């Protein structure tokens, strides 16, 4: 099936502000001292304070992380939750969050690629504290969190240990040579101890595989047996991902939601969350949602990294097609705690949604899908 043709949207931005310049959290931590080759517009690099050649350059990933937002301050949204510090009057569940080991060093400053906000956080522990503060400010009472770097399981468990009532533990899995899958028994034992409730984010696309690959069969069988939902990375990846040594097998086609069908038919009781709502594969996402009632989708990253009008058109199409009760709020804030508030604003500002539809996306759908206590 083809990628749906949504016309491009023009918005005021600076050269470093596009989603394609954001370094993926899944690649970011794999080799902190390494480099990633990227094609940058010379003006974009100059705006970020980086000297480059006219064609290509190699920069440390931490430096590139800074570049992703250094010139984007003009994009801060008036009246946003970040600016106003406003509290939500109704609870929200964020089904797409990421933790990093406490000692993980962050490049400084961490600059949000959309708002241009500079954060003083310098490590994973400070990142966790900042994310919890932002959740409280936005009225987010529950978060599904998985590790995005290092010991991913340990990182997610640490967030849960910090605030057990707020966090649900997910297992960040991949299945590549660099990030192999843990033994199934390890996951089973963690689940038995109450230290694992979700399989995911599962980033099979970065390993050059689909969820239906036999490699994941024992894990899907475990999830179905334990009635444990699976959250799968779908859609696309940041620019030049396949040129990074960590992800040379990654391909765009493996993010197409249509590739989950064989897995779903082998495991008809499996609950599956299509993270990133399959963007940009809109038609295929709707086809899967239509055929498989055990599948939902989240808005992670789309609701704050995409141009607002483009995201709203994508979301509106899904809602108008009848899937308003299958879409869940997710921030996918990655390294940027203030991305949480921007993601909330991305839903709140959708004028085409009724208040009931917003409540479903923000809260009700996640309670039902993840079987959470309301």
Q: What pLDDT is stored for residue 136 in this prediction?
A: 98
pLDDT at site 23: 34
Give the length of the chain: 374
pLDDT of residue 54 exceeding 50: no
Q: Which residues of 332-349 are buried (b: 16+ CB within 10 A; e: fewer)?
A: bbbbbbbbbbbbbbbbbe
Least confident interval from 25-29, 120-124, 148-152:
25-29
Res 150: pLDDT? 81
Percent of the chain whose predicted confidence (pLDDT) is above 90: 73
Tell me: cis bond preceding 109? Omega within 30 of 0 counts: yes
CB 25 within 8 A of CB 99: no
- Residue 307 φ then ψ, to 5°: -55, 135
**The pLDDT of residue 107:** 83
d(C-alpha 324, C-alpha 315), whole Å: 9
CATH of the domain at 287: 3.20.20.140
User: Does the pLDDT value for residue 101 go beyond 60?
Assistant: yes
Residue 365 lies in a domain: yes
Mean pLDDT over all residues of the chain? Answer: 81
Query: Does residue 276 have a pLDDT over 50?
Result: yes
**Residue 12: inside a domain:** no
Angstrom distance (rounded) from CA 99 to CA 356 = 31
Asked if residue 219 has pLDDT above 80, the reply is yes
Average pLDDT over residues 225-252: 96
| DSSP-based three-state secondary structure for 294 | coil
Contact 321, 311 (CB under 8 A): no
Q: What total of structural domains would you count in the chain?
A: 1
pTM of the model: 0.81
Q: Which domain holds residue 203?
A: 78-370
Task: Say if residue 215 is exposed, middle or buried (CB neighbours under 10 Å; 0-12, 13-18, 19+).
Answer: middle
pLDDT digits (tens, 9 = 90+) for 164-188: 999 999 999 999 999 999 999 999 9
Report the distance separating Cα 330 and Cα 187, nearest Å. Answer: 24
Question: Given this model, what pLDDT does residue 42 score?
Answer: 27
Lowest mean pLDDT segment, chosen from 39-53, 82-96, 121-135: 39-53
pLDDT at 2: 33
pLDDT band with cut points at 50, 70 and 90 for residue 108: confident
Pair 272, 200: CB distance under 8 Å: no
* pLDDT, position 88: 61
Report pLDDT for 148: 83
What's the first-to-final CA gap in the chain, in angstroms? 38
User: Strand, coil or helix: what is 360?
Assistant: helix
Task: Report if residue 268 sits inside a domain.
Answer: yes
Render pLDDT for 296-351 as a digit per residue (tens, 0 to 9): 999 999 999 999 999 999 999 999 999 999 999 999 999 999 999 999 999 999 99
pLDDT at 277: 98
Q: Name the token pair of 219.
A: 């894990």
Query: For residue 34, is it within any domain?
Result: no
Q: What is the pLDDT of residues 30-39, one digit of tens each?
A: 332 232 223 3
pLDDT at 19 over 70: no
């Amino acid at each position: 099936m083809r990628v749906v043709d949504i016309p491009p949207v023009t918005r005021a931005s600076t050269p470093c502000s596009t989603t394609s310049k954001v370094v993926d959290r899944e690649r970011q931590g794999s080799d902190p001292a390494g480099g990633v080759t990227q094609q940058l517009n010379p003006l974009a690099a100059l705006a970020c304070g980086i000297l480059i050649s006219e064609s290509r350059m190699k920069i440390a990933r931490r430096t590139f992380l800074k570049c992703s937002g250094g010139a984007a301050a003009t994009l801060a949204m008036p009246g946003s939750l970040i600016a106003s510090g406003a509290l939500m009057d109704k609870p929200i569940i964020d089904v797409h969050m990421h933790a990093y080991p406490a000692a993980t060093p962050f490049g400084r400053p961490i600059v949000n690629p959309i708002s241009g906000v500079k954060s003083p956080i310098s490590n994973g522990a400070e990142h966790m504290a900042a994310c919890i503060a932002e959740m409280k400010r936005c009225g987010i009472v529950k978060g599904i969190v998985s590790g995005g770097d290092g010991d991913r399981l340990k990182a997610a468990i640490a967030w849960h240990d910090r605030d057990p009532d707020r966090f649900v533990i997910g297992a960040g899995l991949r299945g590549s040579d660099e990030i192999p899958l843990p033994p199934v028994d390890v996951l089973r034992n963690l689940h038995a101890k109450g230290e694992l409730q979700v399989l995911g984010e599962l980033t099979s696309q970065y390993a050059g595989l689909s969820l239906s690959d036999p490699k994941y069969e024992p894990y899907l069988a475990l999830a179905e047996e334990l009635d444990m939902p699976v959250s799968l990375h779908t859609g696309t990846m940041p620019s030049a991902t396949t040129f990074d040594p960590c992800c040379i097998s990654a391909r765009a086609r493996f993010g197409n939601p249509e590739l989950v069908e064989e897995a779903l038919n082998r495991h008809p009781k499996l609950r599956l969350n299509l993270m990133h709502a399959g963007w940009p594969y809109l038609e295929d996402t709707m086809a899967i949602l239509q055929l498989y009632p055990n599948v939902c989708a989240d808005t992670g990253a789309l609701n704050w990294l995409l141009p607002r009008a483009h995201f709203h058109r994508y979301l509106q199409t899904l809602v108008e097609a009848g899937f308003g009760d299958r879409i869940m709020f997710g921030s996918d804030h990655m390294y940027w705690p203030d991305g949480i508030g921007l993601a909330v604003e991305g839903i709140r500002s959708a004028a085409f949604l009724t208040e009931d539809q917003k409540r479903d996306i923000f809260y009700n759908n996640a309670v039902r899908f993840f079987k959470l206590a309301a």
